[in-house]
Amino acid sequence: MAQRIVIENCAIATVDADDTEYASGYVVVADNRIESLGAGKAPEGLRDVVRRIDASGHLVTPGLVNTHHHFYQWLTRGLATDHNLFNWLVALYPTWARIDEQMTYAAAQGSLAMLARGGVTTAMDHHYVFPKDSGDLSGAIIRAARETGVRFTLARGSMDRSEKDGGLPPDFAVETLEGALAATEATVDEHHDDSFDAMTQVAVAPCSPFSVSTELMKQGAELARRKGVRLHTHGSETVEEEQFCKELFGLGPTDYFESTGWLGEDVWMAHCVHMSDSDIAAFARTKTGVAHCPSSNARLAAGIARVPDMLAAGVPVGLGVDGTASNESGELHTELRNALLINRLGAHREAALNARQALRLGTYGGAQVLGRAREIGSLEPGKLADLVLWNLDTLAHASIADPVTALVFGAAAPVTASFVGGRQIAENGRLLHVDEDTIARSTRSEARRLAQIAAQA
């Protein structure tokens, strides 16, 4: 017997293939799925309705999907604020290499809470710092995601190219090739769930060309395909990375990725700022996905990714907060706006992106790059009930007639309710399953503990 939740009297942006919208409509949730939706009032005579929500003044959208992040950086926000990527990495690696399980758990809680209170229903963490004897970091991150109630992908990262091999991280911050592969495989075996309504998935995610050996890239790709899981890494983020790849491998980043088996429909890559026409064509041909991180790219002066060209070519593109050491706000709903504004500073100017395209990047596009577009990313009967009620009946939004314009162009809209698989995780901007004040205190004390340990080292 299904339990139903009826949401009525709201504007709805479904983000389906036709961008169907309703100025005033309803959504019926039955257990963990969307059962029906449409214009006007919900059908009469529905049985087993456990809750009826009058959502007047609200816009309902699919839950936001974050496609790139580094949760542990929650403890090192606001540092190296005037650096480019390589200088910022060199400044922060020595501190990052001191994290332990307790710090990683607190940082994950902080990062997840910030995402979830802003309408994120599917999160991911690309975690690639595994200091020796630091405990079960992957387990701690997954525990924090379960407690928050969001759907989650852990991209199990790794680094094995340190300073002694021409890489950027210090020698003590990396794993061995064999150690990284074995630990990644164990994480997939323990935590990856490939069912339709999975709450936890795992991807294989060596960090970047300048911190990972060619052998780890190749064997990581083989491991992911043997296990049937997705592949994630950083790519084409900066001019310096391009030079690094050309000097070390004699290839630009995209050609290097292709040579190591890293283009394909099971791959998504963060940033992709410095892409030539032929790089974009290669991504489109192979259906390789992109996590666009506009605020982080601006913070580190990396440049403007060619999102309009990627979309025109058919490249799947989602949005990412990126780690909060390079995007201190840690929010995804503001990235809808930043993606739109930053791309309008690029070659396509006012035609670069519109509000609907920005919303699509943050929802369906994200589901595509995480490999979950069958299940989430749009509001359609049969899909999982991951959805958000944005309150637009506020001082900040009430005078903007079009709700999608209000959401994307306006101030960050408050979340009245947020559901993951039909289970509510946020109400009136507060999380229901974790305590934000407790998390704020523990992240502050863990950030101080990390700073002290790093200063003594």
Determine how many CB atoms are found less than 10 A away from the CB of residue 428: 9
* Residue 312 CB contacts under 8 Å (≥ 6 apart), including other chains: none
Rounded least distance, CB 65 to Zn ion, Å: 16
CB 181 → Zn ion: shortest distance, Å? Answer: 21
- Map the footprint of Zn ion across residues 135-154, applying CB under 5 A: none
The least distance separating Zn ion from the CB of residue 114, rounded to whole angstroms, comes to 16
What is the smallest separation between the CB atom of 309 and Zn ion, expressed in angstroms? 22
- The whole-angstrom separation of Cα 74 and Cα 96 is 11
Quote the least distance from Cβ 81 to Zn ion, whole Å. 17
End-to-end CA distance of the chain: 59
- CA count, 13 A, side-chain hemisphere, 179: 12
Nearest to Zn ion of 322, 386 (CB atom)? 322
In terms of CB distance, is 22 or 128 closer to Zn ion?
Answer: 128
Of 266 and 322, which CB lies nearer to Zn ion in the complex structure? 322
Q: How far is CA 340 from the centre of its chain?
A: 17
Task: Candidates 143-151, 189-197, 249-257, 320-328: pick the segment binding Zn ion (CB under 5 A).
Answer: 320-328
**How far is 113 from 145, CA to CA, in rounded Å?**
9
- Residues in contact with Zn ion, shown as a per-residue x/- string from 236 to 275 under the rule CB under 5 A: ----------------------------------x-----
**Count of CA atoms in the C-beta half-sphere (13 A) of 138:** 26
User: Which of 61/327 has CB closer to Zn ion?
Assistant: 327
Give the residue with the Cβ less far from Zn ion, 270 or 273: 270
Using CB under 5 A, which of the segments 151-159, 191-199, 321-329, 388-396 binds Zn ion?
321-329
Residue pair 426/116 in contact by the 8 Å Cβ criterion? yes
For the CB of residue 244, give the shortest distance to Zn ion in the complex, in Å: 16
Calculate ∠ Cα 156-360-268, nearest 5°: 25
Residue with smaller CB distance to Zn ion, 256 or 390: 256
Residue nearer to Zn ion on the CB measure, 184 or 211: 211
- Count the helix, strand and coil residues of the chain and give each as a percent rounded to the nearest 5: 40, 20, 40
Rounded Cα distance, 58 and 394, in Å: 10
Q: Residue of minimal CB distance from Zn ion?
A: 322
Residue 87 C-beta-side C-alpha neighbours within 13 Å: 10
Instruction: Give the side-chain half-sphere CA count within 13 A for 343.
Output: 26
Q: Which stretch binds Zn ion (CB under 5 A): 71-79, 300-308, 318-326, 409-417?
A: 318-326
Select 275 or 431, whichever has its Cβ closest to Zn ion.
275
Q: How many CB atoms lie within 10 A of CB 149?
A: 23
The least CB distance from residue 300 to Zn ion, in Å, is 10
C-alpha distances in angstroms, 165 versus 168, 169, 171, 210, 261? 9, 10, 9, 10, 22
Stretch that binds Zn ion, among 257-265, 322-330, 385-393, 407-415 (CB under 5 A): 322-330
- Applying CB under 5 A, which part among 220-228, 303-311, 314-322, 330-338 lies near Zn ion? 314-322
- How many residues sit in the footprint of Zn ion (CB under 5 A)? 2
Enumerate binding residues for Zn ion (CB under 5 A): 270, 322
